[in-house]
Amino acid sequence: MTSPPPPDSGSWPPQGQPDPGPYPPPGYQQPGYQQPGYPPPGYQQPGPAGYPPAPGDQPAAGGYPPGYGGHRPGGGAQGGTDERNWALAAHLGSFATGFFLWLPFLFPLIVMLVKGPQSPYIRRHAVESLNFQINAFAWFIVNGILFFVLIGWVTLPLFALYWVIMVIVASVKTSNGEDFRYPLTLRLVS
């Protein structure tokens, strides 16, 4: 019979094991250690996705990160998902308040007052929709009066079709992250 190996005495490497070489291995760096000359000059640590760059940071050559949206200097078009949904609601909500309450400007007004102060992107879309809906409300009244003069039988359905098409076009453009300006609209609210 053979005797069991003696217990490990705490030496390195353990008895019976090959020598692993120097420790730490060549090229190993402790966490938090930075090599001299790294990061290269001009390198900026990227922030979390969706957050704006720190003051003084310049955007990369490709522009701002995805989802950075309506807070761009110069008023970029694409908003983040939540911003885009609220901007879309400012346009599409006019259908609900227009068909059921006969006040198409009510929903864009609510969006502008509630969410507009939080985001310039949402405010821009809500104001554009509000201006168009105020104009539409006035034109519906004029066409309603013309209805009694018989020309309204032609102009009212045509304007209603124009209104529906413009709101749908604005909604599609907004859902794609683009800005849209309604044609033939007096901008009473800024």
Establish whether the linkage from the previous residue to 13 is cis, with ω within 30° of 0: yes
Smallest Cα–Cα separation from 167: which of 138, 190, 136?
A: 136
> In this structure, are residues 88 and 95 in contact, taking their beta carbons and an 8 Å threshold?
no
In this structure, what token pair is assigned to residue 188? 């009473």
State phi, psi for 24 to the nearest 5 degrees: -70, 160
Strands (E) located in 9-157: none
d(CA 9, CA 55): 59
- Residue 13 has a pLDDT of 62
Q: What is the mean pLDDT of residues 8-27?
A: 66
- SS3 state of residue 125: helix
Q: What is the pTM of this model?
A: 0.58
Q: Where are the domains of the chain?
A: 81-175
User: For the segment 129-139, what is each residue's pLDDT rounded down to a tens digit?
Assistant: 999 999 999 99
Return the higher-pLDDT residue of 137 and 60.
137
d(CA 60, CA 170): 31
